[in-house]
């Protein structure tokens, strides 16, 4: 159980860091296909980290429960609760940092015509 737990504890952050570094970097490629491949590999790192972050604690909890090892079952359950808390915190940060809507006001409808100099006519005659 220990290798599974510590592999999850250190492996998933490693994959996340590699994915974030690749995503934040902007290497220059001469071929658009190479750039697309780079993006696909980066996405695979991030998806693998997400899947392993959820699957490994669930598998560990199930195996520990099946072996009737209450200590490791409790560790994996706590890790799931911490993960849920961190995902909620991350969701709150992302939700609060969303791009605010632009302040573009709609064009007001003309209800009254006020003639002004310069040769412009009122709309509608």
| Phi and psi based region of residue 35 (left: phi greater than 0; alpha: psi -120 to 50; beta: remaining) | alpha
Total domains present in the chain: 1
Boundaries of domain holding 20: 2-96
Would 125 be classed as within a structural domain?
A: no
Would 104 be classed as within a structural domain?
A: no
pLDDT for 85 equals: 87
Quickly count: other Cβ atoms within 10 Å of residue 57's Cβ. 24
Would 101 be classed as within a structural domain?
A: no
Statement: residue 58 has pLDDT above 80: yes
pLDDT for 35 equals: 86
Would 87 be classed as within a structural domain?
A: yes
Q: Which residues contact 112 (CB under 8 A, 6 or more apart)?
A: none
Q: Is 76 buried (19+), middle (13-18) or exposed (0-12) by CB count in 10 A?
A: buried
pLDDT for 125 equals: 53
pLDDT for 65 equals: 93
Is 118 or 9 the better-scoring residue by pLDDT?
Answer: 9
pLDDT bucket at 124, cuts 50 / 70 / 90: low
The tens digit of pLDDT for each residue in 6-56 reads 888 899 889 888 988 888 888 888 888 888 898 889 889 888 888 888 899
What is the number of alpha carbons within 13 Å of residue 113 lying toward its C-beta? 8
Would 105 be classed as within a structural domain?
A: no
Would 44 be classed as within a structural domain?
A: yes
| Phi and psi based region of residue 109 (left: phi greater than 0; alpha: psi -120 to 50; beta: remaining) | beta
Would 81 be classed as within a structural domain?
A: yes
Alpha-carbon distance 17 to 93, whole Å?
18
Would 10 be classed as within a structural domain?
A: yes
The tens digit of pLDDT for each residue in 66-92 reads 999 999 999 999 988 988 888 888 778
């Amino acid at each position: 159980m220990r290798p599974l737990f510590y592999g999850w504890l250190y492996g998933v952050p490693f994959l996340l860091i590699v994915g974030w570094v690749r995503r934040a970097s902007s290497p220059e490629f001469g071929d658009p296909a190479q750039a697309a491949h780079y993006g696909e590999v980066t996405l695979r790192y991030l998806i693998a980290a997400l899947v392993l972050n959820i699957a490994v604690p669930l598998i560990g909890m199930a195996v520990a429960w099946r072996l009737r090892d209450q200590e490791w079952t409790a560790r994996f359950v706590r890790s799931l609760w911490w993960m849920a808390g961190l995902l909620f915190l991350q969701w709150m940060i992302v939700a609060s940092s969303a791009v605010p809507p632009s302040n573009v006001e709609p064009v007001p409808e003309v209800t009254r015509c006020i003639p002004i100099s310069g040769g412009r006519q009122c709309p509608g005659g």
